[in-house]
Amino acid sequence: MTGIKDATAIVGIGQTSFAKHLPEDERTLACRAVLAALDDAGIAPGEVDALASYTMEETDEVELAKAVGFGDLTFFSKIGFGGGGSCATVAHLAAAIAAGQATVGVAWRSRKRGSGPRPWTNTAVQLPTPAQWTRPFGLLRPADEIAMLARRYLHEYGATRDHLFNVALACRNRANQNPAAVMYERPLTREMYMSSRWISEPLCLYDNCLETDGALACVVVSAERARDCRRAPVYVHSAAQGLPAQHHGMVNYWNDDPLTGPAWAAARHLWKHADFTPDDVDVAQIYDAFTPLVPLSLEGYGFCGRGEGGAFTEGGALETGGRLPLNTGGGGLSEAYVHGFNLINEGVKQLRGTSTAQVPGAATCLVTAGEGVPTSALLLRN
């Protein structure tokens, strides 16, 4: 039983520009990104028969299929938990195509978080957290919920704000090589970081992702079909979702061990079905809505031991030429925060050899989705 290993490949990627404000609406941006990805793959829209998206996506399958002119769809999937679903879109398409339920799949994300309302201000909606136990006490935003874990993490393991800065800096340095990044040509210094305003102590401005308008998409087909496509295939080598026992959403405070989050659950399946190990990963795209998610994920995905995620960031480990080059397009912290989809497309660029911060000879890439919420991850290879 080989499962989905290398049975499918990403053969097209597309994106709009990224900005604090784009004039077009989310549906238009979604259509543009999807058409760009199909054009990149050299596949006609009428051939698409599978779609995958994740929750908090405003452009639904019906609207997208009508607007772009897809064929009959035989598979469509919407994954829960917001940014935790990004990698699962590709995973669901890969599973469907490997199982013969569809032939050409498109995953996408379109958001206007830069110019649109912030989700946490909508108090009429029960956000995917147990709101009655948190919000009356002023724990209102995702930043507050993750800062609670971050404070404990710093306390328990002696990790420091300098470690969080290392994460922010690596992302910003890569964004400064990426003309499409929102933070292109805007260098970050330690002094800027340490003197910036607080959002939720211990997290400051630069520990938080960007508010961005933009859309991205990618195209998944069988490995066999991929050989005839315009671009070199990027194979979906392993994929997993992760919802650990007794998990509670972004306020994962009621299980035995809140500092081992969904990454740990996803990682166990991911590596079990892979032909290589964390030591063999050439470049990583790790979900960075907030800087502390990176050390937590480094531990969860097995790049270092428990409590060692902060120290792992030292000595330029996350920079180009370091032990694990990270978020080479700039990530959610400095390229664009489009709920993590830009990390998927950046992984594809690395394995095609076309990244603006190319890791020489990159052959394997880990991509992860939102940590702290039920998550997903991909191992890609060329």
Note whether 123 binds other proteins by CB under 8 A. Answer: yes
The catalytically annotated residue of 193, 206, 287, 301 is: 287
134 near other proteins, judged by CB under 8 A = yes
Is 133 one of the binding residues for other proteins (CB under 8 A)?
yes
Give the pair of three-digit tokens for residue 152: 């404990």
131 binds other proteins (CB under 8 A): yes
Helix (H) / strand (E) element for 147: namely: helix 142-157
Task: Number of residues interacting with other proteins: please give it, by CB under 8 A.
Answer: 37
Tell me the CA distances in angstroms from 147 to 153, 291, 370, one per residue in order. Answer: 9, 10, 15
Q: Is 301 a catalytic residue?
A: no
Question: Which of 152, 190, 227, 230 is close enough to bind other proteins by CB under 8 A?
Answer: 152
Alpha carbons 196 and 177: distance in angstroms, whole number? 23
Residues, the chain: 382
CA distance 117 to 226: 39
Closest CA to 217 of 88, 53, 354: 53
Q: Is residue 144 part of the contact set for other proteins (CB under 8 A)?
A: yes
Mapping DSSP to helix (H, G, I), strand (E, B) and coil, where does residue 136 land?
Answer: helix
Query: HSE of 198 in the Cβ direction (CA atoms, 13 Å)?
Result: 5
Binding segment toward other proteins, per CB under 8 A, in 1-9, 23-31, 122-130, 346-354: 122-130
**Segment lying near other proteins (by CB under 8 A), choices 29-37, 89-97, 125-133, 260-268:** 125-133
- Look at residue 161 and give its three-state secondary structure: helix
| C-beta closer to other proteins: residue 2 or 246 | 246
Locus of tokens 């989905």: 4
Residue 314 corresponds to which amino acid? E
What residues numbered 159-198 form the site for other proteins, per CB under 8 A?
197-198
Q: Which of 1, 256, 277, 361 binds other proteins (CB under 8 A)?
A: 256
**Are 193 and 165 spatial neighbours (Cβ–Cβ below 8 Å)?**
yes
Would you count residue 151 as binding other proteins (CB under 8 A)? yes
Tell me if residue 206 is catalytic. no
User: Is position 140 an interface residue for other proteins (rule: CB under 8 A)?
Assistant: yes
Is residue 147 at the binding interface for other proteins, with CB under 8 A as the rule? yes
Binding site for other proteins (CB under 8 A): 118, 121, 123, 126, 130-141, 144, 147-149, 151-152, 155, 197-202, 246, 248, 251, 253-256, 258
Which residues are known to be catalytic?
287, 337
